[in-house]
Amino acid sequence: MPAKKLKQLLDEHNIKYVTISHSPAYTAQETAQSAHISGKALAKTVVVKIDGEMAMVVLPAANHVHFYDLQAELGVGNVELANEMEFREKFPDCDPGTMPPFGNLYGMKVYLTEDLSREDEMAFNAGSYSELIQIKVTDFIDLVQPTTIKVA
């Protein structure tokens, strides 16, 4: 079960969560529809390279990462989308593209968009094409300590 490591972390920190099973879906928008969740409250995790170092950008399912704006906001030299082949081995317990936004489990920095940080709850992939976990955004922020960014 891909979500075992994540659920163990949540349980260790007494964070309440809901597991949502849904029919298999392969894009963030399909997942939101399949699970009957608003695209604003479904978080997708995009792996980027910031000056060559892997990081996660966590944003609402309907949004896109604007690399130039992110580069300017962070004051770095380069931001680009990471190729799945570059990061696949970092997530051995996850189906491709279903990694949860917990960079602390995978040794990666996490950036959370400001609009998602204002939601009460967020749901996210739990390492498979058919399971989500939903938690309070404040619990996510307390546990992961992401850097909040304005741009997506």
pLDDT value at position 28? 77
- What's the domain range around 35? 4-149
For position 33, what pLDDT does the model report? 78
Q: Give residue-wise pLDDT tens across range 90-109.
A: 888 888 889 999 999 889 99
What is the structure's pLDDT at 115?
93
CATH of the domain at 66: 3.90.960.10
61-83: per-residue pLDDT in tens? 889 999 999 999 999 999 999 99
User: What is the number of structural domains in the chain?
Assistant: 1
The per-residue pLDDT for 93 is: 84
Residue 152 is predicted with a pLDDT of 63
- Give the per-residue SS3 of the chain: CCCHHHHHHHHHCCCCCEEEECCCCCCHHHHHHHHCCCCCCEEEEEEEEECCEEEEEEEECCCCCCHHHHHHHHCCCCEEECCHHHHHHHCCCCCCCCCCCCHHHHCCEEEEEHHHHCCCEEEEEEEECCEEEEEEHHHHHHHHCCEEECCC
Q: What is the pLDDT along the chain (152 residues), one digit of tens a residue?
A: 457 888 999 999 999 999 988 878 777 777 877 777 877 888 999 999 999 999 999 999 889 999 999 999 999 999 999 998 999 888 888 888 899 999 998 899 999 999 999 999 999 998 888 889 999 999 999 999 999 999 76
